């Protein structure tokens, strides 16, 4: 996108099955969505770049994106360009419409440290649906791309393994 940095990516560190990809790019945003199944868990992972001058109408179209459907564990992460401080999403009522919509739909924001060191703001956000335990998520800052003006975020999930059922077991 001319005039803005932009660009989104998703890296996987384990094998994936039944991978489906959806990418949309407009003058107002970039969205990369991955629909996949890892072991026995289905994930919808959506990476978003939202420029600072994004319109309210486009914000609503981001929120209503197909990747946010409720048929799997939902993760939405990216550069939302909404300067926040650690307490401004989970602890108080968010003022921006897209943040209010995410909160009303049961999404919890995981990142609680500045992702843009120069300004001290949290511009990069990671939302998970409340149907997954927040305690199962680990979020850390990395600096894999040294010339980037944002920290890169590593997000890991500890999903419980399903119990194997043993038929005709007598105790």
The secondary structure of residue 126, as a DSSP letter, is E
CATH of the domain spanning 17-157: 3.60.10.10
- On the question of pLDDT at 87 being above 60, the answer is no
Residues in the chain: 171
- Model confidence at 104, pLDDT cuts 50, 70, 90, reads confident
Q: What is the pLDDT of residue 8?
A: 66
In this predicted structure, the answer to whether residue 171 has a pLDDT above a threshold of 50 is no
Of the candidates 105, 111, 103, which has an alpha carbon nearest to the alpha carbon of residue 85? Answer: 111
Confidence at residue 168, expressed as pLDDT on a 0 to 100 scale: 46
Q: How far apart are CA 63 and CA 68, in angstroms?
A: 7
46's CB contacts (< 8 A; 6+ apart) are: 31, 32, 33, 34, 65, 67, 68, 74, 75, 76, 77, 78
Query: What pTM value is reported for the model?
Result: 0.71
pLDDT tens, 107-145? Answer: 888 888 888 878 877 778 888 886 566 677 888 888 777
Question: What's the average model confidence in pLDDT over 141-150?
Answer: 76
* CA atoms of 138 and 141, how far apart (whole Å): 10
Per-residue pLDDT for 165 more than 50?
Answer: no
């Amino acid at each position: 996108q001319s005039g803005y940095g932009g660009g989104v990516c998703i890296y996987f560190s384990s094998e994936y099955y039944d991978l489906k990809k959806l990418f949309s790019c407009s003058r107002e945003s970039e969205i990369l969505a991955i629909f996949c199944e890892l072991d026995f868990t289905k994930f919808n992972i959506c990476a978003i770049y939202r420029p600072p001058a994004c319109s309210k109408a486009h914000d609503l179209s981001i929120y209503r994106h197909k990747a946010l459907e409720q048929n799997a564990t939902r993760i939405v992460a990216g550069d939302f360009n909404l300067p926040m401080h650690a307490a401004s999403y989970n602890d108080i009522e968010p003022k921006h419409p897209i943040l209010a919509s995410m909160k009303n739909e049961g999404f919890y924001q995981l990142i609680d440290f500045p992702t843009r060191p120069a300004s001290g703001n949290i511009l990069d956000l990671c939302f998970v649906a409340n149907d997954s335990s927040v305690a199962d998520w680990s979020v850390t800052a990395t600096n894999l791309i040294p010339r980037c003006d944002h920290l890169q975020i590593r997000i890991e999930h500890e999903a419980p393994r399903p119990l194997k059922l043993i038929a005709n077991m007598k105790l």
